[in-house]
Amino acid sequence: MCAFLIGLLVDSIPVFAPPAWSVLVILIISFDASPWVVVVFGVLGSTLGRYILSRYIPRVSNKVLNRRGGKNLEYVGQRLNQGYWKTTLFVFLYTLTPLSTTVLFTAAGIARARLLYILPPFAAGKLISDAIMIVTGKYAAGDVREVLHGNIHPKTFVMLVVGIVLIGAVLFIDWQTLFEKKKLVFTWRIWKGQQKSG
């Protein structure tokens, strides 16, 4: 139930919030919860949260999104008007990336897109991407604890490196450029107030 509420709360607000998966990892580690149960309920909450967001966001989008967000919105809005199969495939692939789905559901709300075309592929993509991030985050956290206690095994080291690489990819790859222009660009300066660099 906590996982559902976390997904619902995080994904129904239009302002910056931590990704739901990162909060769910903390939930799993703190309460030794089953990762698969947390993923399923977290995704259900996120799906309902994004539905709610798409309903009220058109009224507040100008106050929430910056100029870059506006460009993203225009691009995504064009993609959501391509017919059922193209829209479904686009939403599914978009959700697999670490790009914010706030823009996706803002565009859907403003364009009055059919949520029946958007919610199922969103839930499927979110199930896959969140499962990868949550399980990786859980194992990476567990491996860090083992290393701190002096229990270093080859498997522990490999899983720790894989976890760090995956989290680094989420943080430092410019996913919008990769998704739109098929060009791999790294953004090393990710904190507020820093300029984008490639």
For residue 98, tell me if it sits in a domain.
yes
- 128: in domain: yes
| Domain assignment present for 129 | yes
- Residue with structure tokens 């977290």? 42
Look-up of token digits 């929430």: 64
For residue 194, is it within any domain? no
- Total domain count for the chain? 1
pTM listed for this prediction: 0.68
Assign 3-state DSSP to the chain and report helix, strand, coil percentages, each to 5: 75, 0, 25
Residue 191: the pLDDT is 46
* 99 DSSP 8-state letter: S
Domain that holds residue 12: 2-181
Residue 94, classed as helix, strand or coil, is helix
Classify residue 187: in a domain, yes or no. no
Question: Does residue 29 sit within a domain?
Answer: yes
Q: Are 61 and 102 in contact (CB under 8 A)?
A: no
Q: How far apart are CA 112 and CA 39, in angstroms?
A: 29
pLDDT digit of tens for each residue in the chain (198 aa)? Answer: 788 999 999 888 876 567 787 788 778 777 888 888 989 999 999 999 999 988 888 777 666 555 555 566 666 777 787 888 888 998 998 888 767 787 788 788 877 788 888 999 999 999 998 888 777 766 655 544 554 455 555 655 565 566 566 656 655 677 667 767 778 887 765 444 444 444
pLDDT in tens, 17-56: 677 877 887 787 778 888 889 899 999 999 999 999 888 8
Residue 55 maps to a domain: yes
